Structure 1
Amino acid sequence: MSGSTIIPWVVGNWKMNPMQANSQQLIQDLKQQLQQQPISEQQCHIGVAPIAIALLSVQQQFADAPNKIMSVAQDLSRMAGTGAYTGEISAELLKDSGIEFVLIGHSERREIFGDTVSVVQEKVKNALNANLKIIYCVGESLAQREAGQAEEVVLQQICDIAALVKAEQWNNIIVAYEPIWAIGTGKTASPDDAQAMHAKIREGLSQITPLGAKIAILYGGSVKPENAAELAACADINGALVGGASLNAESFYQIAQAFAKSKE
């Protein structure tokens, strides 16, 4: 099945960046780019995932942008509701603050901060219960790819959450495929390799839910303006989760524009 009719998403994951002054400049520069050459929501959805303490201010600063820019939380707590959980931000608190999207399962959370499968599952369950939309990250390590296990690993990560998602809740799921070996390394899966994995993910999703053909599957891993058009041309690549290049307004805009043009 092809996801070529899906409106693409381009989401900038700012990770633990930037300082406040640089963030404000980045926002102004991106708004200016969009003012000069607007990208309609029918062409491409755009979002940014700033650090937690900047979520609301970034959302407010984008309120008057020529395009709707979604604010995306980089993570959320495995604890629900409110309570004595120092340092945590729950799904309900995000929703109460007007944040509608959250990243879950990013490899940096899994690899560095110990988000096990059970922790990821708790986060997914909490997000869905709060009616948040999830960008669910999957991807294999270099060792797993070289061992021929890439598809098995990625499809297992999809299966890890399948039982938690009710039939209608698949409308609230976006999948982001990020090969771990390509994140921040400058290496990128070839368009053919990326498309092959995306097609396999779509096949797996379609076996789980009738909505599998409609779920956006984003590619992440050293996405930049130089490779965005090739990736956007792939039938089952419905956008990008952008890391370093999202910290430069012109680069990020060019990536969004490449995916927007793929709808023309």
Structure 2
Amino acid sequence: MSSSTITPWVVGNWKLNPMRADALQLIEEFKALLQQQSISPEHCHIGVAPTAIALTEVKAQLDDANRKIYTVAQDVSRIAGTGAYTGEVSAELLKDSQIEFVLIGHSERRELFGDNVEILKAKLQNALSAGLTVIYCIGESLEQREQGAAEQVVLQQICDIAAVVKAEQWQNIVVAYEPIWAIGTGKTASPADVQAMHAKIREGLKQITAFGADMAILYGGSVKAENAVELAACPDINGALVGGASLNAESFYQIAKAFAQSK
């Protein structure tokens, strides 16, 4: 499988949004758009990552759509199983609630909540052991990019997790490249710059795992309907992790449509 034949992913990361009534309305609006003009699951995987408190209700509502839409957890505990760990949600509890996908390593978790390499490795190991598919986020800061260290930083973030990923588990990982300076800022790297970084990530993955050529590499960083077509045309950009634009049904639909039509 070449990178051009990988089925793209478009995942909406709602972060700490929205209120319950707005979330339910957003889903209904998105489902209505799919009803009017469906996007084939063979052409694009679609996922939504709501807040933890909304996971099961959102999943139930998405299950009524005219195609598969995955429910994605935004985070998972570094603690496995069950026990006296107030406030935590383990990979096993997600799996038990039929939540099969999880984001790990988002820059907001790294920067605001102290998710260092050891914590991320524990989360990743737990998620993969429980049978979840992981969307693993990587990306450099503006300072690191200006210092010419962007590629080194991003490739190191992949190497950091290699020790805890079993050979066969790499096929259960999707990589999301999110330059930190472009998340929620309205700034976006040029499609050429993103493609160049994705090509480097692809090279790095191929050196680490036999599945490297087949893994989806998503781009996140102020992805909007206005730039989705150009990003989707790049051979090593296999989808998008969408922030703010995923809170608007029409915008999210147009982004998914752009990637579905590009492959």
TM (norm. structure 2) is 0.99
Counterpart for residue 190 of structure 2: 190
Counterpart for residue 91 of structure 2: 91
2:176 paired with 1:169: no
Q: How many residues align?
A: 263
Counterpart for residue 9 of structure 2: 9
Shift of 1:167: 1.2
Cα offsets for 1:125-148 (capped at 9, x unmatched): 100110100000000000000000
Counterpart for residue 21 of structure 1: 21
CA distance in 1, matches of 2:164, 2:120: 11
Shift of 1:176: 0.1
Shift of 1:164: 1.1
Describe the SS at the equivalent of 1:163: helix
Cα offsets for 1:159-201 (capped at 9, x unmatched): 0111111111111000000000000000001000000000000
The one-letter code of the counterpart of 2:168 is E
Shift of 1:98: 0.3
Counterpart for residue 201 of structure 2: 201
CA distance in 2, matches of 1:105, 1:164: 15
1:23-102 equivalences in 2 (<5 Å):
23-102=23-102
Q: Does the CA contact (< 8 Å) of 1:9 and 1:45 recur in 2?
A: yes
CA distance in 1, matches of 2:2, 2:163: 24
Q: Does the CA contact (< 8 Å) of 1:195 and 1:237 recur in 2?
A: yes
Identity of aligned residues (%): 76
CA distance in 2, matches of 1:139, 1:106: 9
TM (norm. structure 1) is 0.99
Counterpart for residue 231 of structure 1: 231
CA distance in 1, matches of 2:262, 2:171: 22
Q: Does the CA contact (< 8 Å) of 1:232 and 1:259 recur in 2?
A: yes
CA distance in 1, matches of 2:83, 2:247: 34
User: 5+ residue gaps in structure 1?
Assistant: none
Counterpart for residue 129 of structure 1: 129
CA distance in 1, matches of 2:75, 2:243: 15
User: 5+ residue gaps in structure 2?
Assistant: none
Counterpart for residue 114 of structure 2: 114
- CA-based RMSD of the aligned residues comes to 0.8
CA distance in 2, matches of 1:27, 1:102: 19
2:147 paired with 1:147: yes
Shift of 1:2: 5.0
Q: Does the CA contact (< 8 Å) of 1:128 and 1:169 recur in 2?
A: yes
Shift of 1:102: 0.2
**CA separation of 1:2/1:194 partners in 2, compared to 1, >3 Å: closer, same or farther?**
farther
After TM superposition, the runs of 4+ consecutive aligned structure 1 residues lying more than 2 A away are none
Describe the SS at the equivalent of 1:212: coil
1:236-247 equivalences in 2 (<5 Å):
236-247=236-247
Describe the SS at the equivalent of 2:55: helix
Describe the SS at the equivalent of 2:4: coil
CA distance in 2, matches of 1:133, 1:69: 14
CA distance in 2, matches of 1:66, 1:44: 14
CA distance in 1, matches of 2:7, 2:125: 26
Describe the SS at the equivalent of 1:213: coil
Counterpart for residue 255 of structure 1: 255
Q: Does the CA contact (< 8 Å) of 1:35 and 1:66 recur in 2?
A: yes
CA distance in 1, matches of 2:67, 2:251: 17
Q: Does the CA contact (< 8 Å) of 1:2 and 1:199 recur in 2?
A: no
